[in-house]
Amino acid sequence: MTSLEQWLALNGLALPSRLDALEIAIAGTLMVFALALGVLAERKIGAQASQWWKSHVAHHGEGLWERMPAILRHGAAALGAAIVMAAYQWSAWGGLPIGLALGSAAALASHQILRGLGIPRWASWLVSAILCVALFSRAVGGLDAITTTLDGVGVDLGRRRLSLLAITSALLAIVIIVAVVRLANRIVGHTIAQTKTLDATQKLLGQKLATIAIVIAAFLFSIDLLGIDLTAFAVFSGAFGLAVGFGLQKTVGNLIAGIILLMDRSIKPGDVIVVGDSFGWVNKIGVRAVSVITRDGKEHLIPNENLMTQEVENWSFSDRNVRVRIPVSVSYDCDLKQAQDLMLAAAKESPRVLSSPAPNVWLTNFGNDGVEHEILAWISDPESGVGNVKSDVLNRLWRKFKDAGVSIPFAQRDIYVKSWPSPPPVASPSTPAGEKRNDSAAA
């Protein structure tokens, strides 16, 4: 008896018989066909599946569409191998090539899916390795030997046993649940975004509520799957309530305020708002804060509670038209009617100024230096800025005033002198210093 036969005998195994060798050959041939099926699926429908995913879930699942051909290749090979394994009662030797092909294909397919969903590389490879070992063991005789070995390495903590099997199962369940939650969020978010009966704010609210519902459902499912006693959360819930009352009340308050803002639609993405010193257009309403982008490209993150408690100017709440006031002064000696016509013409020529409502010119005051006016112009795109509209109108008006000879006043002051003081007497050059002159003697 050779050393290989002795080792197999010690482990309850024997060299493959002619029937076992025939099963190995048949199973190996079928696995070659399964792998060929995967390659054929990649070539035939890989590009179409990738394009479909990109066009339907592109903005929510960017990492999956480019991996779709590889997922199809490995997934189709794993499906073919699984069908072969279930179609016949294979021996341990016959299941060897099937287990190798099935475990490898399924592991590679799961790795591509998990990486496409943003799961870290180490967690993706760990889950893939566990899946490969489990499927291979299932094909050659079962998982009892592995599960018994893993469960034997551990310690008893009260009524529960902490073993390698429990840790591995918990880690595997957590990674899979996180991946399923991310995939569900992307699919549901895209479905809501494509709904034509909802406006932008309702879509955003629906996506956030769906995300919260998916996370809660996944949490409850994972608790049940891991076999954690829910009564153990009685103390945790009390501690969590105290944490909310003291440390997390701002966070929870901002979350609720964000949901209220989305429900009453007082502030929507794209609105132009003014909060304190922050002026810009709303980019995104998040769970904690609202993102407001200014004309300088700066992004202000304003807590949701501030928008609920402070005074907020929404320039596009019910109407996107905004009136811009442009002050202009002209000299007292100019023709006011001509100057006002030029102001109105400059406003009408500006490309962003609306023709309806039409611009107007008001005389507001007789100032110290000139006659003060205001050009009232309406725009419908306040998110593009207000200062550039004023600059464009004033530049056009400057050229028109120059051509028409209308002068723009500047600060001037006239000084009127009522009387000058008499100058002091000037001494004659011939009079010695300190000597008084006798005017009478000189006469």
Same-domain status, 82 and 187: yes
Same-domain status, 117 and 252: no
Taking the whole predicted model, whether its pTM rises above 0.75 is answered as: no
Query: Once rounded to an integer, what is the mean pLDDT over residues 225-251?
Result: 63
Q: Quick check: is 441 in a domain? A: no
Q: Quick check: is 299 in a domain? A: yes
Residue 161: helix, strand or coil by DSSP? strand
Alpha carbon 261 to its chain's center: 18
E strand residue ranges, 308-437? 313-314, 322-330, 360-366, 371-379
What DSSP state is assigned to residue 55?
H
pLDDT of residue 394: 92
Q: 């700066």: which residue's tokens?
A: 298
Alpha carbon 62 to its chain's center: 14
- Cβ neighbour number for residue 78 with a 10 Å cutoff: 24
Query: Once rounded to an integer, what is the mean pLDDT over residues 75-79?
Result: 84
Q: Is the bond leading into 357 cis (omega within 30 degrees of zero)? A: yes
Q: Quick check: is 119 in a domain? A: yes
Same-domain status, 278 and 345: no
Banded pLDDT at 398 (limits 50, 70, 90): very high
Same-domain status, 180 and 233: no
pLDDT of residue 442: 41
Answer yes or no: is pLDDT of 359 > 70: yes
pLDDT of residue 80: 83
Which has the minimum average pLDDT: 118-122, 190-194, 344-348, 378-382? 190-194
**Last residue of some domain: 318, 339, 374?**
318
Separation CA 166–CA 415 (nearest Å)? 97
Same-domain status, 310 and 328: no
Residue 100: helix, strand or coil by DSSP? helix
Which has the minimum average pLDDT: 150-164, 251-265, 291-305? 150-164
Query: Once rounded to an integer, what is the mean pLDDT over residues 48-56?
Result: 74
| CATH code of the domain covering residue 257 | 2.30.30.60
Same-domain status, 255 and 383: no
More confident residue, 103 or 434: 103
Query: Once rounded to an integer, what is the mean pLDDT over residues 37-56?
Result: 78
- Cα torsion angle, 108, 110, 116, 121, sign: negative
Q: Quick check: is 439 in a domain? A: no
Same-domain status, 136 and 124: yes
For the chain, state the CA radius of gyration.
42
Residue range(s) defining the domain that contains residue 259: 229-318
Separation CA 116–CA 326 (nearest Å)? 54
| CATH code of the domain covering residue 399 | 3.30.70.100
Same-domain status, 303 and 351: no
Q: Quick check: is 208 in a domain? A: no
H or E element at residue 302:
strand 299-303
Number of folded domains that form the chain: 3
Q: Quick check: is 126 in a domain? A: yes
Query: Which pair of structure tokens corresponds to residue 296?
Result: 């300088």
Which has the minimum average pLDDT: 6-15, 293-302, 355-364? 6-15
Give the up-direction half-sphere exposure of residue 184: CA atoms within 13 A in the CB hemisphere: 17
% of the chain residues with pLDDT over 90: 5
pLDDT of residue 374: 92
Residue pLDDT, tens place only, 169-184: 777 777 778 878 877 7
Most confident of 33-42, 142-151, 170-179, 331-340: 331-340
**Last residue of some domain: 268, 290, 318?**
318
More confident residue, 332 or 286: 332
Same-domain status, 332 and 373: yes
Same-domain status, 47 and 168: yes
H or E element at residue 291:
strand 289-293
Banded pLDDT at 282 (limits 50, 70, 90): confident
**How many residues does this entry show for the chain?**
443
The identity of residue 179, as a single letter, is: A
pLDDT of residue 327: 92
Q: 């595997």: which residue's tokens?
A: 172
**Last residue of some domain: 288, 318, 348?**
318
Answer yes or no: is pLDDT of 46 > 60: yes
Most confident of 229-243, 340-354, 371-385: 340-354
Query: Once rounded to an integer, what is the mean pLDDT over residues 195-207?
Result: 69
Q: Quick check: is 427 in a domain? A: no
Q: Quick check: is 40 in a domain? A: yes
Answer yes or no: is pLDDT of 329 > 80: yes
Which has the minimum average pLDDT: 124-138, 225-239, 410-424? 225-239
Answer yes or no: is pLDDT of 301 > 50: yes
Answer yes or no: is pLDDT of 348 > 80: yes
Same-domain status, 283 and 336: no
Banded pLDDT at 443 (limits 50, 70, 90): very low
Same-domain status, 168 and 247: no
Query: Once rounded to an integer, what is the mean pLDDT over residues 369-373?
Result: 87
